[in-house]
Amino acid sequence: MAELRCEAVTAAYGERAVLGGVDLVVPEGTLTAILGASGSGKTTLLRVIMGFLRAERGRVLVGGTVVAEGGGVHLPPEKRAVGYVAQEGALYPHLRVGQNVAFGLPRAERKDSARIGEMLELVGLPADYAGRRAHELSGGEQRRVALARALAPRPRLVLLDEPFSGLDASLRVETREAVLRALADAKTTAVLVTHDQAEALSMGREVAVLRAGSLVQTSAPTTLYRTPADLDVARFVGEAVVLPGDARAGHVRCALGDLALVDPAVAGIVHTVIRPEQIRLGRTDGAQGPDRAGHTEPAEPSGPAEPSGPAGPAGAPARAGRVLSRTYYGPDVLLHVDLNGHVIAARSFSHDAPDVGDLVTLDVSGPVVAFPVQPGDPLAPES
Amino acid sequence: MGRSRDTADRAPRGLVLVCVVVAAIVVAPVAVTMVQALQGGVSAAATSIRASSSLTLLLHTALVAVVATPVCGVIGVAAAWFLERSNVPGRRVWTLLVVAPLVVPLFVTSYAYATLGASLTGFLGAVGIIAFSYYPIVFLLAAASLRVMDPALEETARSLGLGAWETFRRVVLPQLRPALYGGLLLVALDALVEFDAFVAFKFQTFTLSIYAQYQLSFSASGAAALSMFSVVLCVVILVVESKLRGDANYTRISHGVRRQTARYALGRATPAVLLGLGALVTVSLGIPMGMLIYWFTQSSSAALSSASTSLQYLWPATLTSVLLGLGSAVVAIVLALPMAILAVRYKGRVPTILERSVYLSFALPDLVGAIALAYAASHLVHVLYGSVALLVLAEAMLFVPFAVVALRSTLGLIEPALEDSARSLGLGPLRTLWRVTVPLARPGLAAAGVLVFAFALGDLSTAQVLLPPSMYTLGTSFWANSRTVAYAAAAPYAAVLVVLSLVLTYVLMSRFGKVRAVEGA
């Protein structure tokens, strides 16, 4: 178990630069998820850490030892003790499960069925799976065996490349839990590469967002979700309602009212980011909205978006809009509400969700983030 | 690695029926030969077998096959690994050069070596010529396998601490087993009945003895009786191979990412590897080509007259050869396609036996097979007797196994779901074949066609028996001239053959690279 450290790593395929100076520290015994869209350089970064691709510049250190240095040291993959779990597991079809697990062990230990059983149990599989053929296992079981195989020789670090892709939802959750448990039990340093936000946020102690070959933000999941570094990251890590707004003195005025800002220093014309789960819906027919206990003020009809009263604290006056569409997910529904020309996405519990065409009030709970508009943005003030 | 349908799926009757007909056609010469062998009664057959010291010759033949086949395997797999997995410079050119010996007619190579010196003939010469002419079969199949192998398998091995050799031994080689066995099977069977390669050698093999038997006594039954040995050997090899193969037909469980596997840097070993490849190409291609050029230079002086007279026959001979080759390629593909579809898409006893039966095309020496066909035609389908059509059919039958192997590799990469969805859109099986399978299998069809065309160009024995007397091919003209030691006169024919073959190799290899595109479809 060792710390992984990447220092200003750059890499290229031929002429095409793929990584432009990646700095990353994964502390010993923790899991960092690298989140990026396809083509962002995730796999390239993995291949540099593994040793299948040379770093052009910068250094990669595992446990304080330099394993790759641009123009200098390049330890071959087999000398790095960096375990690897490939996308679909890549179990050896010519070997049984037990032989797969023992594959990386020294010859004398490969017959040690107790050890193999231990490794299988570590990933939550019964020891008697050792005699099965790889193709007899389900997709999720194959990934677990691949993890057991990677962990068996006690690597200093394990890399997981989209290890849950192609699994259906319930299997995904189950396999994810088994993998987290195994990694924690083995106290392994791990890097997980994924394009799935929920996966990254739920699994990583830290999440590093990779965009166009550079890490734009590395932080704990809650920090990343609540205070993303920029608008792109905000949209990338979760659903977001983005509204134009005017920020000053710790508040922002937008179509949803006068809202408190997470970062009071932001000022000027901004993009305001509100998460759908922050938006509370209420009925306008005088009955109390399901989520608005305590509020009794009548909803305003759909009117001008300008907040009428002075900027109050968190409890800004609610706005009203008409439900445009409703997507049913079982426990909850996703609604699109037309608020004075802005389409606002909001979630509601399904048992008393409004219907299409209903008039609803919207208000926002909790502070929001905002990003000053960049020059060239259509919202930017004319200079 | 073929993605076959569920084992519960039974092959459609129509397809099985077509395959039975194909199998019957391919096996027909063997059946006819058996009848011929026993025509004179069992005792007569036994006498002719005893008289020809056949046991010794059988031993010779078996020894050549036993020694040459593993050599082919080692050369083919090693060359494939270095060209597909290492960073050796000039890989495209090397790949072409390494494949080229496959399509250079064996009798040309054989003569080139024989005229080089007597020291190269004999047992070692026979082993050498088989090994260095047939290794491209193993190379092609192994290289194709390496190209489609999931890169993650090797990457995982290296991340677990295995070096290049250990990764090869414990991961790559086991994955190559199906391709390797398939290639070795073709080599072993072909070596057993090879005649063309040994024509110029003073090494008595079983096939040569059969030819002698035929030419001396003109007794078809004697030759047929002797051929029974090769039929038995062929069946034995087929059984051994299917036992060896066992469960080596792995199901591919992860498709991985479609990207190039990281190549190994050879570093200081680069000159040694280049030297090895250079030696291989020199022995298998350079020396025969050198001899051809030498004969050419001779034609300018000593044998000028005979060379120039032979030149006026060069064009008609080329045309005949090319047309024969094209015809054989088309017929072979028509015969091979149903077999390949059956073998790739359906499992079970019947498909396996039918597909294996195609390999019985190797059970008879070409000459004996040709005689059997002529015999059958004269008795059963008189229209065919003495016609070019019979020759085309004979050559197609001879090379059907190669076409099946080439088609199988591509068909195996086509998702059955593509065909299923065509059926659900209202297309019948034949229209699905024509509009979905055939277009997707184009690289395989091209490879099969080019292979059969090249082999037909290089065929000698069958043409000698079945070619109508008024016609001549590049092969028969070369043979006629070289027999009278008019090497200079023979050289132009050989040169045209070799040039055509090299062009074909180029076409074959450019198609070969496209097989991957199908995988992504």
Sequence-distant (≥ 6) Cβ neighbours of residue B397 within 8 angstroms: B25, B26, B29, B332, B335, B361, B369, B373
Locate tokens 């059907």: which residue?
A: B400
Strands A214-219 and A319-328: unpaired
In this structure, the dihedral spanned by the alpha carbons of residues B18, B21, B23 and B25, taken in order and rounded to 10 degrees, is -140
Sequence-distant (≥ 6) Cβ neighbours of residue B463 within 8 angstroms: B324, B391, B395, B473, B475, B476
Region of A90 on the Ramachandran plot (φ > 0 left; ψ -120 to 50 alpha; else beta):
left
pLDDT band at B468 (very low <50, low <70, confident <90, very high): confident
Tens of pLDDT, residues B370-385: 888 888 888 888 788 8
Subunit contact B158:A78, Cβ cutoff 8 A: yes
Q: What is the mean pLDDT of residues B380-401?
A: 88
Tokens of B85: 């997995």
Is the CB of residue B304 less than 8 Å from the CB of residue B153?
Answer: no
How far does B250 lie from chain A, in Å, by closest CA?
Answer: 6
Q: For residues B436 and B421, give the distance between their C-alpha atoms in angstroms, rounded to a whole number.
A: 10
Strands A268-274 and A369-372: antiparallel
pLDDT at B108: 83
The closest of A287, A301, A303 to A354, measured between CA atoms, is A287
pLDDT at B512: 61
Strands A319-328 and A157-161: unpaired
Cβ-based contacts under 8 A for chains A and B:
91
On chain B, the residues whose CB falls within 8 A of the CB of A92 are 153, 171, 174
pLDDT for B412 beyond 90: no
- Which range has the top average pLDDT, A113-122, A304-313, B141-150, B243-252? A113-122
Q: Which of B160, B244, B247, B264 to mutate to test the interface with A (most CBs of A within 10 A)?
A: B160
Subunit contact A78:B159, Cβ cutoff 8 A: yes
On chain A, the residues whose CB falls within 8 A of the CB of B250 are 93-94
CA A225 to chain CA centroid, Å, is 9
pLDDT at A308: 40
356-375 in A: which are within 8 Å (CB) of B?
none
In this structure, the dihedral spanned by the alpha carbons of residues A65, A68, A70 and A71, taken in order and rounded to 10 degrees, is 100
Tokens of A152: 């068996």
Subunit contact A94:B255, Cβ cutoff 8 A: no
A83 — contact with chain B (CB < 8 Å)?
A: yes
Q: Is residue B198 packed enough to be buried (19+ CB in 10 Å), middle (13-18) or exposed (0-12)?
A: buried
Q: For residues B437 and B442, give the distance between their C-alpha atoms in angstroms, rounded to a whole number.
A: 9
Tens of pLDDT, residues B183-210: 898 899 888 877 767 766 666 666 767 7
pLDDT at B474: 87
Alpha helix segments (H runs only) across B193-313:
206-217, 220-245, 270-281, 287-299, 304-311
CA atoms within 13 Å, Cβ hemisphere of A134: 23
pLDDT at B308: 54
Which residue did the predictor score with more confidence, A50 or B304?
A50
pLDDT at A180: 93
Between A81, A91, A149, which is nearest B161 by CB?
A: A81
User: What percent of chain B is modeled with pLDDT above 70?
Assistant: 81
pLDDT for B306 beyond 60: no
The closest of B43, B31, B377 to B227, measured between CA atoms, is B31
Q: For residues A166 and A163, give the distance between their C-alpha atoms in angstroms, rounded to a whole number.
A: 9
User: What percent of chain B is modeled with pLDDT above 90?
Assistant: 24
- DSSP lists the bridge partners of residue A207 as A33, A219
Amino acid A10 reads T
Give me the count of residues in chain A: 383
**Vertex B329 angle, CA B328 and B333, to 5°:** 115
Tokens of B322: 């090319």
Q: What is the interface pTM, i.e. ipTM, of the complex?
A: 0.74
Q: For residues B147 and B409, give the distance between their C-alpha atoms in angstroms, rounded to a whole number.
A: 12
pLDDT digits (tens), chain A, 383 positions: 789 999 999 998 878 889 999 999 999 999 999 999 988 999 899 989 998 888 999 999 999 999 999 888 888 888 899 999 988 888 888 889 999 999 999 988 888 999 999 999 999 999 999 999 888 898 889 999 999 999 999 999 999 999 888 888 888 888 999 999 999 999 999 999 999 999 999 999 999 999 999 999 999 999 999 999 999 999 999 989 999 999 999 999 999 999 999 999 999 999 999 999 899 888 876 444 444 443 434 444 444 444 443 333 444 456 889 999 999 988 889 999 999 889 999 988 888 889 999 999 998 999 999 999 887 777 776 54
- Cβ neighbours, 10 Å, residue A223: 13
The closest of B111, B122, B127 to B72, measured between CA atoms, is B127
Sequence-distant (≥ 6) Cβ neighbours of residue B172 within 8 angstroms: B81, B85, B146, B149, B154
A150 — contact with chain B (CB < 8 Å)?
A: yes
pLDDT band at B215 (very low <50, low <70, confident <90, very high): low
Sequence-distant (≥ 6) Cβ neighbours of residue B159 within 8 angstroms: A50, A77, A78, A80, A82, A83, A84, A150, A155, A159
Q: For residues A356 and A337, give the distance between their C-alpha atoms in angstroms, rounded to a whole number.
A: 9
Tens of pLDDT, residues B38-53: 776 667 667 766 666 6
Is the CB of residue A76 less than 8 Å from the CB of residue A51?
Answer: yes
pLDDT for B60 beyond 60: yes
Locate tokens 């800004």: which residue?
A: A316
In sequence order, what DSSP letters do the residues of B172-213 get, joined into one string?
IHHHHHHHHHHHHHHHHHHHHT--GGGTT-----HHHHHHHH
Sequence-distant (≥ 6) Cβ neighbours of residue B23 within 8 angstroms: B339, B354, B357, B358
- Which range has the top average pLDDT, B20-24, B33-37, B119-123, B301-305? B20-24
pLDDT for B315 beyond 60: yes
Angle between helices B220-245 and B366-379 (to 10 degrees): 120
The closest of B472, B133, B481 to B295, measured between CA atoms, is B481
pLDDT at B276: 96
Is the CB of residue B88 less than 8 Å from the CB of residue B169?
Answer: no
pLDDT at B250: 54
Q: Which residue of B has its CA nearest to A166?
A: B254
Q: Return the percent helix, strand and coil in chain A, to nearest 5.
A: 25, 35, 40
Tokens of A352: 């008393």
Q: For residues B160 and B153, give the distance between their C-alpha atoms in angstroms, rounded to a whole number.
A: 11
What are φ and ψ of residue B343, in 5° steps? -70, -35
B262 — contact with chain A (CB < 8 Å)?
A: yes
Which residue did the predictor score with more confidence, A154 or B256?
A154
Angle between helices B41-51 and B13-39 (to 10 degrees): 80
The closest of A223, A236, A242, A219 to A37, measured between CA atoms, is A236
Q: For residues B86 and B88, give the distance between their C-alpha atoms in angstroms, rounded to a whole number.
A: 6
pLDDT at A97: 94
The closest of B333, B148, B182 to B254, measured between CA atoms, is B148
Subunit contact B159:A43, Cβ cutoff 8 A: no
In sequence order, what DSSP letters do the residues of A116-143 get, joined into one string?
HHHHHHHTT--GGGGGSBGGGS-HHHHH
Q: Which residue of A has its CA nearest to B260?
A: A52
CA distances from B436 to B3, B14, B407, B420, B427 (A): 16, 19, 15, 10, 10
Q: How far apart are the first and last CA of chain A?
A: 55
In this structure, the dihedral spanned by the alpha carbons of residues A261, A264, A270 and A274, taken in order and rounded to 10 degrees, is -20
Is the CB of residue B465 less than 8 Å from the CB of residue B368?
Answer: no
Tokens of A104: 């990386």
How far does A88 lie from chain B, in Å, by closest CA?
Answer: 6
Is the CB of residue B505 less than 8 Å from the CB of residue B102?
Answer: yes
On chain A, the residues whose CB falls within 8 A of the CB of B167 are 78
Subunit contact B253:A87, Cβ cutoff 8 A: no
In this structure, the dihedral spanned by the alpha carbons of residues A91, A96, A98 and A103, taken in order and rounded to 10 degrees, is -50
Tokens of A251: 């508040």
